A and B are shown apart, each in its own frame.
Chain A
């Protein structure tokens, strides 16, 4: 299994530009999570999906952030327009309801720098 795959690994963009982060979850997993990690705020849950349906987006910081999951094997997190305070590492994680005790599987993250 290739694990959770995120792209790009690094993204540098200018303030005001649109940024799209991509995630391919582990096949067969029915939960998908987007997290943001910063030194100041730690690991924050932004949004999660179950069976491709957004369940809770209360962690999305502003309307500039949006996430989609058009099918079971792909999700995107979009920031438009981007701002310097969006600079962080963004993680995608997937999980399965096969067992309530199963852990999350994380990708290696996208490090976003907005200048």
Chain B
């Protein structure tokens, strides 16, 4: 079945540091790829998505590129802020399916 693997957390960074959170997936066909963010005390919310190979999703300074050849969708941000502290979930949705498969989540802690 489909699966998503994310890097273990927590990831701890200083403000203005560069962020990468790795995500790789296993799926048949061309799934849609998503990053969700969960701030403390809240539910998950969509951060960005990409629906076909080489697409780049972006939002709030975060970016991720759909890499079919490496089955990856790594999340990056050039300069993190304290307010980016949250848990980040990578997810995929197979073609024709409305049921996403989520990774375990990666906690990001940004210090001033």
List residues of chain A with CB under 8 Å of any chain B CB: 4, 31, 42-43, 45, 48, 50, 56, 91, 93, 95, 97, 100-101, 103-109
Contact = CB atoms under 8 A, between A and B. Distances in A.
| A contacts with B: majority SS | strand
A93 B45 CA distance: 10
Which of B44, B46, B95 is packed against the most chain A CB atoms within 10 Å? B44
Nearest to B52: A101
Given A31-B98, A100-B96, A43 B89 contact: yes
Contact of A91 (B43, B46, B99, B105): B43
Contacts of B34: 103
A105 B44 CA distance: 8
Nearest to B99: A48
Given A48-B99, A95-B98, A97-B98, A103 B46 contact: yes
19 contacts: A31-B98, A42-B102, A45-B99, A48-B99, A50-B98, A91-B44, A93-B44, A97-B98, A100-B95, A100-B96, A100-B97, A103-B34, A103-B46, A104-B46, A106-B43, A108-B42, A108-B43, A109-B42, A109-B43
Nearest to B95: A100
Interface residues on B, range: 20 to 34
Nearest to A50: B98
Nearest to A48: B99
A45 B105 CA distance: 14
Interface string B79-94: 0000000000100010
Contacts of B105: 42-43
Contact of A101 (B41, B51, B102): B51
Nearest to B48: A103
Which 7 residue pairs of A and B lie closest in terms of their CB atoms, listed nearest first?
A106-B43, A103-B46, A42-B104, A106-B44, A101-B32, A101-B51, A108-B43
Given A31-B98, A43-B89, A100-B32, 9 more contacts: A4-B43, A43-B104, A45-B99, A50-B98, A103-B36, A104-B44, A104-B100, A105-B45, A106-B44
